[in-house]
Amino acid sequence: NDVVIRVKNLKKYFPIYKGFLIKKHVGDVKAVDDISFEVRRGETFALVGESGCGKTTTARTMLRLIDPTDGVIEILGTDISRLSREELLPFRRKMQIVFQNPIGSLNPRMTVGQILTEPMLFHKIVKDQQEANERAIELLRMVGMKPYHMDRYPHQFSGGQKQRIAIARALSVNPEILFLDEPTSALDVSVQAQIVNLFLKFQEELGLTYIFISHNLALVRFISHHVAIMYLGRIVEMGEVNEVFDNPIHPYTKALLSASPIPDPAIEKKRSRLILTGNVPSPIARPSGCFFHPRCPFKMDICDKEYPQMKFVSPNHQVACHLVDKREV
């Protein structure tokens, strides 16, 4: 499998200023702080963590909706981190996003037909309106909707149908990479599975690569190939999804998994429980050493002094925790 996304030492800092007339730079919110990972074609890479961990900022930076502070964002072999608006255009087509809330992402004044054909005409995927209409009807069919829906408006549809329209729009420009930002969490449980199945079907049929942002760990395990666990702007554990979920090493990953039920009682019984105490510290004043040390039941002397480097514990599994040095691997 070839690598389609390569993120290297990516940083996104938001400066904080004090004062009204004379602004003084007093620090930075390090929303994304030196993260690196690779994603292969046709795979789903999940970014997981509590709100404020930097997963959404990572995705927005990779899409160049916001500019990175530093680092490399290589998409299909090109570093797009410094490209101009015009230079970014072909990459904007290749990378599409499906948001959590389909209500906010569809223009209420446009018909479904307009919503689907506009991006195709803008990116010159089709030669004229007629071809765009034909393709829009085909896209509706692909997401399980009917041709007569073309003339309707978003408010005439249910949440699940709106999300189907949003997926059809994302697919309308032949993307290679889809960012899925909690794409089912605003939907009824009964329709969540249908939407997930659509994503799985399109990945198989179209060879799409997904960046999946979620805090639903059961769903992450079900649809992802690789997962990165983020805490306060950094990746603390990353690897092949079954390996990370079956053999979590970072105490934070263990705590996240403890909080999420596993349907298999045999695994549930074997699993050691780890309950998180305390709140996520402020990203403005992160703790010294390992950022997790104030909440970590395994804290050692070194933990508040040195930030642990990412280390491989197996060819498909990396962890940033001083416990790794103590393990007999």
Per DSSP, the three-state class of 184 is coil
Nearer to ligand SF4, 182 or 237 (CB): 237
Binding of residue 313 to ligand SF4 (CB under 6 A): no
CB of 298 to ligand SF4, least distance (A): 4
Smallest gap from residue 292 Cβ to ligand SF4 (A): 4
Q: How far apart (Å, rounded) are the C-alpha atoms in residues 216 and 100? A: 13
Query: Which run of H or E residues covers position 118?
Result: helix 112-122
| Residues binding ligand SF4: number (CB under 6 A) | 14
Does 321 interact with ligand SF4 (rule: CB under 6 A)?
A: yes
| CB of 199 vs ligand SF4, minimal distance in Å | 33
Distance (Å, rounded) from C-alpha 21 to C-alpha 77? Answer: 45
Nearest to 233 by CA among 272, 173, 286: 286
* Binding of residue 241 to ligand SF4 (CB under 6 A): no
**Residues 6 or more apart from 200 whose CB is under 8 A from it?**
223
Least distance (Å) between residue 9 CB and ligand SF4: 21
Closest listed residue to residue 176, CA positions, set 91, 68, 233, 289: 91
Q: Which one, 243 or 304, has the nearer CB to ligand SF4?
A: 304
| Residue selected from 121, 126, 262, 323 as contacting ligand SF4 according to rule CB under 6 A | 323
Question: 116 is written with which tokens?
Answer: 């689907």
Element (H, E) at 237: strand 234-240
Our finding on whether 322 is near ligand SF4 (CB under 6 A) is yes
Q: Residue 303 interacts with ligand SF4 (CB under 6 A)? A: yes
Sheet holding 24-40: strands in order across?
A: 24-40, 3-18, 70-75, 78-79
Candidate residues 251, 254, 274, 276; the one interacting with ligand SF4 per rule CB under 6 A: 251
Binding residue for ligand SF4 (CB under 6 A) from 134, 298, 301, 315?
Answer: 298
- Shortest approach of ligand SF4 to residue 251 CB, angstroms? 5
CB 6 within 8 A of CB 38: yes
Tell me: does residue 276 bind ligand SF4 (CB under 6 A).
no
Site string for ligand SF4, 195-234 (x = CB under 6 A): ----------------------------------------
Give the pair of three-digit tokens for residue 1. 């499998």
Asked whether the CA dihedral 183, 188, 191, 197 is positive or negative, the reply is positive
Q: Cα separations (Å) of 102 from 19, 97, 121, 166, 196? A: 39, 11, 22, 6, 15
Whole-Å CA distances, 286 to 228, 232, 234, 256, 283: 20, 8, 11, 20, 5
- Report the residue number, 40 or 311, with the smaller CB distance to ligand SF4: 311
Question: Applying CB under 6 A, which of residues 300, 311, 316, 317 lies at the interface with ligand SF4?
Answer: 300
Beta carbon nearer to ligand SF4, 14 or 298:
298
Shorter beta-carbon distance to ligand SF4: residue 84 or 277: 277
Q: What 3-state DSSP class applies to 143? A: coil
State the CB neighbour count (10 A cutoff) for residue 96. 23
Task: From 50-58, 63-71, 199-207, 293-301, give the range in contact with ligand SF4 by CB under 6 A.
Answer: 293-301
Stretch that binds ligand SF4, among 100-108, 177-185, 260-268, 294-302 (CB under 6 A): 294-302
Among 99, 157, 199, 292, binds ligand SF4 (CB under 6 A): 292
299 binds ligand SF4 (CB under 6 A): yes
Give the footprint of ligand SF4 on this chain (CB under 6 A).
Answer: 250-251, 290, 292-293, 296, 298-300, 303, 308, 321-323
